[in-house]
Structure 1
Amino acid sequence: MASGGNPIFNGKSFRGATQAPPVPHNPYAQNPYGQNPYGQNAYGQNPYGQFGQAAPQPNMTPEQLQQMYSQPAAGPADTGRMTFDDVIMKTVACLVVLVLGAAVTLFVAPALSTVLMVVGALGGFVLALVNTFKKQPSPALILAYAGLEGLFLGGLTRVLDGLYPGVGLQAVIGTLAVFGVTLLLFKSGKVRATPKAMRFFMIATIGYAVFALINMVMMWTGAVQEPFGLRTSVEIFGIPLGVLIGLLAIGLAAFSLIMDFTSIEEGVRAGAPERYSWTAAFGLTVTLVWLYVEIIRLLSILRGDD
């Protein structure tokens, strides 16, 4: 994929990937050396066997030969290359599994929902690392990741929606809105993952990760008693720190979508193998999960400050 794309793609998705076979050319076309295409090639191989196409039979009529070679050239899907349709379908599959996982924790008993949420959070984190560093994409592991994240998001939504009714639906709408706007901006060419923007993204993401780690440790040790830790216990000009941090995180997640789209576009253009559409779907799912978590947390902080 693109060298400046989503870290998930850079870290794993196209390591060792080779471009899919090219579309076969018309053997009647004049080659650079003026050699008969039906003659013996340098390796003694049938040039048609390479593409799984039968050689013309000696008793075929000229009309049959002309019909055979006037057929449309094979498209990306026919030659085993990744297409945008592949990415869309596999991303939809991941999101369907995620929604099913969320439905489980939304409708089971509260105590079991909490257990499943913790299992989903830990299991999803582990599988995210496995899928990120695995050289070849594994559909089963990617779908398993989506299911575990569904358990986590369902449990989180159940807890926060119980405290602030309606916040779950608002977060879903907000996530879809950010995704749609980001896609439109990318398609229009107004927003691109430039090297300068990538450097800012990496610096800001590292800073955000450090803050999140410190906040989590302080909450676990009881250093802060607020539900969201430093996000709500610290205010800047009367604004909870979590609101400012949340807006930054949502911006980072939105830019991560831009990097996903860039990586997918370049992968399709480069003729990447079809199996890497699972990598693209995984990257999009990870980013959408991150975006949803940040939006529902920001909305909860704002509701709690009312």
Structure 2
Amino acid sequence: MESKNPFFNTKSYNNSETVHDAVLIDYNQTMSLSGTINKAFIMLILLVAGAVTTWTMTGSGFNPVILIIGGAIVGMIAVLVSTFKPELSPYLAPGYAIFEGLFIGGLSAFFEAKYPGIVIQAVGATFVTFFVCLGLYKFQIIKVTEKFRSVVVAATLAIAAYYLITWLITLFTNFQPVHYGNSLMSIGISVFVIVIAALNIFLDFDQIERGVANRAPKYMEWYGAMGLMITLVWLYVEFLRLLSKINSRD
């Protein structure tokens, strides 16, 4: 079993042409952990820049719906292309960060207008979760075994299937999915989804380490950074949804 995140699957890393020489390995041409971290920071800066742009425009009275939809669509296209063409990641990853930032900025502005203070809470919760997972992984308190990987992937796929099916049903019927609203059941589902999203971070760390160990090509640093950013965006959106449900009960 592999990470649900399309960027973190064993096939993508194993199929990447290993850069080597019969006599001497040029480590400047292979994937490194520091290089992946640096590119993840670059993507984070670009994402924040895109988010601030939409946020500022929304505050000035601009309707961000077009930017939200456009950012989501372009971001998804970048994800799909990079999944099948990892070598294009150095070009697509920065673009993904910017357009996903436009999406996140507009979405955050909507939530903030309805529940003041929710955005900083969601951002804080996301980064705290990330660093806790990083610490647990670094000190091997939680290890990524085959059983761990299979359980997380199965749960993630189940969540994706549930979201897709309920969304399609609501398009043609008046059916109200159980995860809508602010009931205790709905809040419980959000908590469960956040836990699964957080567990995916461990899989992401593990796949990045595998890429480094297998001396994947240099462009896989962008590929790895992009995949990790996808997981963080998912986690942030889920925190927004959970906090909005809790605040709406007050």
* Cα displacement (A) at 1:4: 4.1
Counterpart of 1:47 in structure 2 is: none
Counterpart of 2:13 in structure 1 is: 14
Counterpart of 1:141 in structure 2 is: 92
TM, length-normalised to structure 1: 0.74
Counterpart of 1:223 in structure 2 is: 174
1:266-305 alignment runs, 5 A limit:
266-305=210-249
Would the alpha carbon gap of residues 194 and 262 (structure 1) be closer, same or farther in structure 2, given more than 3 Å must change?
A: same
State whether residues 13 and 137 of structure 1, in contact with CA within 8 Å, keep that contact through their aligned partners in structure 2. Answer: no
Aligned length: 247
Answer 1 or 2: higher relative contact order, Cα 8 Å, separation at least 6.
Answer: 2
* Cα displacement (A) at 1:258: 0.6
Q: AA paired with 1:116? A: L
Counterpart of 1:256 in structure 2 is: 200
* Cα displacement (A) at 1:14: 2.4
Residue 53 of structure 2 is aligned to residue 104 of structure 1? yes
Counterpart of 1:185 in structure 2 is: 136
Cα deviations by residue, 1:132-162 (Å, 9 ceiling, x for unpaired): 2224242121111111111111011000111
Cα deviations by residue, 1:162-201 (Å, 9 ceiling, x for unpaired): 1100000100000000000000000111212211122212
Counterpart of 1:210 in structure 2 is: 161
Would the alpha carbon gap of residues 163 and 220 (structure 1) be closer, same or farther in structure 2, given more than 3 Å must change?
A: farther
TM, length-normalised to structure 2: 0.89
Greater displacement, 105-114 / 83-92: 105-114
Counterpart of 2:71 in structure 1 is: 120
In terms of Rg, which structure is larger? 1
* Cα displacement (A) at 1:121: 1.5
1:224-239 alignment runs, 5 A limit:
230-233=178-181, 235=183, 239=184
Return 5+ residue gaps in structure 1 as ranges.
25-50, 52-73
- Matched residue of 2:87: which SS? coil
* Cα displacement (A) at 1:233: 4.1
Return 5+ residue gaps in structure 2 as ranges.
none
Q: AA paired with 1:142? A: A
State whether residues 18 and 272 of structure 1, in contact with CA within 8 Å, keep that contact through their aligned partners in structure 2. Answer: yes
- Matched residue of 1:302: which SS? helix
1:12-161 alignment runs, 5 A limit:
13-14=12-13, 16-21=15-20, 24=23, 76-77=27-28, 80-109=29-58, 110-161=61-112
Residue 117 of structure 2 is aligned to residue 166 of structure 1? yes
Would the alpha carbon gap of residues 23 and 293 (structure 1) be closer, same or farther in structure 2, given more than 3 Å must change?
A: farther
* Cα displacement (A) at 1:12: 6.2
* Cα displacement (A) at 1:211: 2.1
* Cα displacement (A) at 1:122: 1.8
State whether residues 2 and 150 of structure 2, in contact with CA within 8 Å, keep that contact through their aligned partners in structure 1. Answer: no
* Cα displacement (A) at 1:22: 5.0
Cα deviations by residue, 1:206-243 (Å, 9 ceiling, x for unpaired): 22112212332355446157xxx5324484xxx1x321
CA distance in 1, matches of 2:140, 2:226: 24
Cα deviations by residue, 1:30-76 (Å, 9 ceiling, x for unpaired): xxxxxxxxxxxxxxxxxxxxx6xxxxxxxxxxxxxxxxxxxxxx883
Cα deviations by residue, 1:278-306 (Å, 9 ceiling, x for unpaired): 11101111111111111111111111112
CA distance in 2, matches of 1:266, 1:14: 8
Would the alpha carbon gap of residues 281 and 12 (structure 1) be closer, same or farther in structure 2, given more than 3 Å must change?
A: farther
Residue 192 of structure 2 is aligned to residue 244 of structure 1? no
Would the alpha carbon gap of residues 21 and 210 (structure 1) be closer, same or farther in structure 2, given more than 3 Å must change?
A: closer
State whether residues 117 and 152 of structure 1, in contact with CA within 8 Å, keep that contact through their aligned partners in structure 2. Answer: yes
Aligned CA-pair RMSD: 2.4
* Cα displacement (A) at 1:15: 5.4
Q: AA paired with 1:10? A: N
